[in-house]
Structure 1
């Protein structure tokens, strides 16, 4: 069994209220972490995931790997990363013409 990494990002556990914070696989769960921070975090948290994962990986993940973000998070991602265009983002293309329900 692979031990969990000891190097973790400096993020508040409130962003991961539905996980056991000390059991998060920060390397394997990078898509969940990045999506959660883009959706719920601010500039300080964005800076921290860039420090932890690297800007290229964060941008690639937002653009190509995250399958859903709400409209406001897509707009926030474009503000945080001006090099992103929503027309290139998988999460936008995946649901562009599909209505979604929020809870």
Structure 2
């Protein structure tokens, strides 16, 4: 897939099978893009979103803004970004499988 250097990230459309690839708002939908690549991408795709959005924005999105990642996505994020801590990630704190106290 060809992409201009700064207009859109050089990612394969297969990661966005449920979207019209040419209609994706890459800047406005950055949380969806980052979450999708954290879940399903490899190191090359992570490198591309870091190049496109910047490392700080990607880490901030994963830590503070993305409300859901499956457990394997959280583990992927920790593997790709060792400076993250699971206990600081909003998606980890927001999990539905964590135990709750009830009375």
Aligned equivalent of 1:62: 62
CA distance in 2 between partners of 1:10 and 1:53 (Å): 12
State how 1:22-101 maps to structure 2 within 5 Å. Answer: 22-95=22-95, 97=98
Q: Which consecutive segments of 4 or more residues in structure 1 shift more than 2 A?
A: none
CA distance in 2 between partners of 1:71 and 1:27 (Å): 26
Q: How many residues align?
A: 93
Structure 2 gap segments, 5+ residues each: 1-5
Question: What TM-score comes out, normalization by structure 2 length?
Answer: 0.87
- Please state whether the residue corresponding to 1:77 is helix, strand or coil: helix
| Alignment deviations for residues 39-69 of structure 1 (CA, whole Å, 9 cap, x no partner) | 0000000000000000000000000000000
Select between 89-98 and 48-57 the one with higher mean Cα deviation.
89-98
Measure how far apart 1:97 and its partner are. 1.2
Q: CA RMSD in A?
A: 1.2
- Please state whether the residue corresponding to 1:19 is helix, strand or coil: coil
Structure 1 gap segments, 5+ residues each: 1-5, 99-103
